[in-house]
A = this chain, B = another copy of it.
């Protein structure tokens, strides 16, 4: 249940009412808001005089639902806004991993050349083997911070565990929670206390309901700047790395109020299919794309097969603009 308190309720009173309802207390928009389990269907008697309106739900997709907020929430980073009244589709691009200053500078130059404002690159890589390249860590983060200063780019990078959230906030603009960390409550709760936008990737073995409920951990913690990212689910088909779930994206657009970003690179796993998928996603009118591009993909220290080279990426960008226009959107 979500309970919007009247605006004359102050923080102290709100805290006391939250205890009565055994609920999370957040400030969403103009008023204090309480959220407890969707199994609660009736407003506690004691709250009645202080309640502006309340919402009951069939399941624990509550703050994220269109039933609670019919418009997609707006999220801002740097000079970019997605969701809300905007008709923007943001392209977030860059290499899988930060590998060196020279490499990440080449990526930054590419983005500047194409008028793209948001750079992605990993520093803490959640590899499935302990014997693989694990990322540059804090050194990589500092390089990203440097690019931010030099090029005026917004930066997004992934946290692998909760202890890294603070330093990622310090050096970047968007916290990425990777697919393998989607259930990590340490990260989710820490991000709930932050103000920075969070891009939450769907676990490749996670249902849409679990995905949205993971977002509820962040939202109920108080941070309303959450973006959902579909990046492919694991199915029986192994000719491609994962299966991009666009039916699921249609579901998310219909039932949730969070911006939706698509990652065709990880879904496909092979550069040859990324452009076609990126075009498909754009035509669906999603709020953003996350695309891996590397100066020399064959030499990449991780995900070499799926990264576009600069030429392929430029060709792709040229085709996205007219598709976005055809569905009333703008690439930013």
Chain A residues close to B by CB (< 8 Å): 24, 35-38, 60, 62, 126, 128-132, 160-163, 180-181, 183-186, 203-210, 213-214, 216-217, 220-221, 232-251, 253-254, 267-268, 272-273, 276-277, 279-285, 319, 322-323, 325-327
Contact = CB atoms under 8 A, between A and B. Distances in A.
Given A126-B185, A130-B213, A162-B161, A235 B233 contact: yes
Nearest to A209: B239
Given A239-B248, A244-B247, A128 B210 contact: yes
Contacts of A247: 232, 237, 240-244, 267-268, 273, 277
Contacts of A232: 247
Given A60-B131, A240-B248, A242-B247, A186 B160 contact: yes
Nearest to A124: B185
B243 A233 contact: yes
Contact of A36 (B131, B237, B323): B131
Contacts of A160: 185-186
Nearest to A63: B130
A267 B251 CA distance: 12
Contact of A322 (B245, B248, B326): B326
A291 B214 CA distance: 27
A59 B194 CA distance: 40
Closest 7 CB pairs of A and B: A205-B205, A250-B273, A283-B283, A161-B186, A180-B183, A240-B247, A280-B280
